[in-house]
Structure 1
Amino acid sequence: MRIRYLLLNAYGTGGTIRTVFTQAATMAGLGYDVEIVSTVRHKDEPNFDLDERVRLTTVVDVRAPKGDEPAPGPVGRYRAARRERLRKQGGRIVPEGEFGYEAFNRHVEREVVRYLKSVGDGILVTTRPALNILAARYASPRLIRVAQEHMNLGTHRPDVQKAIARYYPSFDAVAVLTSRDLDDYKKLLPGTRLVRIPNAVHSTEQEHSDHTNKIALAAGRLAPQKGFDMLIPAYKKVAERHPDWQLRIYGTGKKKNELRALIDKHHLYNHVFLMGHTDRMEDELTKSAFYILSSRFEGLPMVVIEAMTHALPIVTFDCPTGPADVITDGKDGILVPPKDTDALADAISTMMDDRELRDSMGAEALTTSQGYAPENVHMMWEELFSDLVRTSGKAAAAG
């Protein structure tokens, strides 16, 4: 049985990429023929390790061409010029409200459609609304088609929700991350097979924090979703009470300069540090005392669960959705009302004040994280795939 996972960019750093890599490795270990297909490729090697049994292919390679490539002939020049024209045109199929819309120019859309029409067997798993919509419209109905949703329904913009309502019923199954999201999708998609399967962490065998270093850690794209523009002003109040602590924010993105200006504005240059990208996040988590999530919205915040595998307690906004599906307030972390920066600052200070609290919540966080172990989560996927082969009537075509 062949399983193909279609990602937007397998060479990026997001949580979806890592969880798909982990899932693909498990499926390969169970004997499936597994391939990850990256819609675009912008670098030579992926950021995350990929099991050698899993093939990685690309639809559109956007790396700069090599300088020693021979000049194309007339047909090649025509095709190259047409390709450039299409790249300058916005997508026509993907809704403009899709958070990854900028990646789907007309050239990328056309190539993805061409790829989808070329696939004739097995299980196709698509991993974001843009790819789900394209697969629903253009992938062969002979395939077993499964849509993954890694964001909650309520955060999708109206045009995306409208497309979801129109196209998702054609899938053999739609998988969401949380119970609350499952309820929302049931209302939007009556009659569609919906399942809740959380993402798995890549490993639960991590070195644990001893909660002694005076470091609070946050991580994610430097983008509005992650709310670092709320966390930094909130930390001004924290720094006044705990000047010997550091807040380290890992990640890259378009908002770096704005966040740097916020740090300067609040005179936090000795307290808050934009650390950029790291290939050693596990080491950084182990060195930290607790983790902070300041997002405006999430799907299922995998970085939080990764932090919990290091026995880190969590301070988080109770944003839609995910944090409250993972964290039990007062047990393995502290939940505060969404966008309430004063409450966030107070919760951070509470965690800094009390080493015993960090120890006890960290132990509970470690226990919570075991529910997201690969062996537990991927069993759900294997059961779903097996059941779809058995019940969809597509077993022969998928063989």
Structure 2
Amino acid sequence: MRRWVGKGRHAVASLAVNTLEAANRRRERTTPPPSADQVRFLLLHAYGMGGTIRTVFNLAGYLAKDRDVEIVSVLREAEQPFFPVPPGVRISYLEDRLEPPAGVRRLLAGRPSRLIPAEEAAYHRFNMYTDLQLARYIRSLNTGVLIGTRPGLNLVAASLAPPGVITIGQEHVTLQGHAEPVQTMIKRRYPQLDALITLTKADLRDYRALLRRKPRKLARIPNAVPPMTGGIADLSTKTVITVGRLTRIKGFHRLLDAWKQVTEVHPEWKLRIFGAGPQEENLREQIETLGIGDTASLPGPTADVGAELEKASIFVMSSREEGFSMTLLEAMKKGLAVVSFNSPHGPKEIITHDHDGVLVKPRTVDNLAAAIIRVIEDEPYRRHLAGNGLKTAAKYDNNAIGAQWDALFEELLQPRRPRPARPADQAAT
């Protein structure tokens, strides 16, 4: 019986693919020339707080200087976006979760998504209603550029975008951070994208190795450092700072263990961990257990990262794994000395050890504590790191990175080769 059910699902998937291909062939006859005058970002939750959201807002603001730019949020779970919306950028949403479900939405919202892979990290945020809304929205487009910002949305854009739409997948985390089934689907569907953009050189190498067939353009464009309020830190404040989601992967539990050693030597220094997330209660309990409540604090999230960085002298990154870290570059731009666990997919590409920051062997609490203590005690060294960090951050200026996106759009406006055939499994996920 199971074999026949499997065959039935495959037949339905094949029929869906054939129907979509036929519709695309019909649309190709009336498709306008490719255009980059309209740019649409697909974002899971534009109203929330996080590095991907902030960097998408930043890029959208640059592109909106001479383009029509919209950020399409799959979900709306807050009255207003956490981050300021850049001038010229519109925010829309596909499902308003501030309103109780009714009608078709009530029927579909309780059913699991079929468009997003079950192993995708945010799969639980999607449902069959968001599937319907995503499909309707993407198929309503005629032209312009559509940019996905996570694997599930990239896969949907690759599968459903009409022939006149330029599709770009943007990866904000490492390839190795995706579950194997997601990597398998990436291998099948990402070649249908017009471009795939990674943030790091290491990730670009991984995608080149994985994808036997490539999108038209496979390239690395790092995030730009967004504008920040205030000026440069004067490095006189006895404060160490870090910023990020309070999740296990950020390694703040290790930072607190290291801080226990630091505060025993330098009790006059303070540690401030800005952010919110599921580990908050555990971290507060750890602070109490370690007896470091007088020197370590969790002030919560902040919408003005620049203002908080300016009040500190040292920035620490304790992540177990890290992609291209925007907060690391923001700390450099603010003139802080940075200390980070080493990682080939982010910090190692940004930091030159002992030049513009300190790289520490990953997950080693004693080494992290020793590095922080060295930067605290050696003021000339601290100022050496901070000064060179300012020069490094300048390479990621908004206009410099934005120009790379302008060049990408120009390249993608050139005549396109036919997209590869869509995989028959797309409707069965």
- Give the counterpart letter for 1:59 in structure 2: L
1:105 and 1:318 map into 2 onto residues whose CA distance is 37
The aligned residue for residue 91 of structure 2 is: 56
Stretch of structure 1 that moved more, 130-139 or 86-95: 86-95
1:244 and 1:204 map into 2 onto residues whose CA distance is 28
Q: 1:1-399, aligned counterparts within 5 Å?
A: 1-29=37-65, 31-64=66-99, 80=102, 82-192=104-214, 193-203=217-227, 207-392=231-416
Change (3 A) 1:227 1:109: farther
- Give the counterpart letter for 2:312 in structure 1: S
Note if contact 2:360-2:367 (Cα within 8 Å) is conserved in structure 1: yes
1:23 and 1:275 map into 2 onto residues whose CA distance is 28
Note if contact 1:204-1:373 (Cα within 8 Å) is conserved in structure 2: no
2:218 and 2:55 map into 1 onto residues whose CA distance is 20
Q: CA deviation at 1:184?
A: 0.8
Partner SS state of residue 6, structure 1 = strand
Change (3 A) 1:89 1:229: farther
> CA offsets per residue over residues 189-237 of structure 1, 9 Å max, x none?
1341311100001127851111111110011111112111221112111
1:28 and 1:393 map into 2 onto residues whose CA distance is 28
Q: CA deviation at 1:288?
A: 0.2
Partner SS state of residue 391, structure 1 = coil
Q: CA deviation at 1:18?
A: 1.6
Listed as ranges, the gaps of 5+ residues in structure 2 are 1-36, 419-429
> CA offsets per residue over residues 19-60 of structure 1, 9 Å max, x none?
21121121121x222111111111122122223312211111
Stretch of structure 1 that moved more, 99-108 or 119-128: 99-108
Partner SS state of residue 137, structure 1 = helix
Q: CA deviation at 1:303?
A: 0.7
Q: CA deviation at 1:281?
A: 2.0
Q: CA deviation at 1:11?
A: 1.1
1:90 and 1:262 map into 2 onto residues whose CA distance is 37
TM-score normalized by the length of structure 1: 0.91
1:56 and 1:12 map into 2 onto residues whose CA distance is 13
2:205 and 2:344 map into 1 onto residues whose CA distance is 13
TM-score normalized by the length of structure 2: 0.85
Q: CA deviation at 1:117?
A: 1.7
Max Rg structure: 2
The aligned residue for residue 397 of structure 1 is: none
Stretch of structure 1 that moved more, 142-151 or 80-89: 80-89
> CA offsets per residue over residues 330-350 of structure 1, 9 Å max, x none?
011110111111111111111
- Give the counterpart letter for 1:254 in structure 2: P
Partner SS state of residue 217, structure 1 = strand
Change (3 A) 1:259 1:320: farther
2:192 and 2:263 map into 1 onto residues whose CA distance is 52
Note if contact 2:338-2:358 (Cα within 8 Å) is conserved in structure 1: yes
Q: What percentage of residue pairs aligned between the two structures are identical?
A: 39
Q: CA deviation at 1:102?
A: 2.0
- Give the counterpart letter for 2:341 in structure 1: F
- Give the counterpart letter for 1:167 in structure 2: R
Partner SS state of residue 390, structure 2 = helix
Listed as ranges, the gaps of 5+ residues in structure 1 are 66-78, 395-399
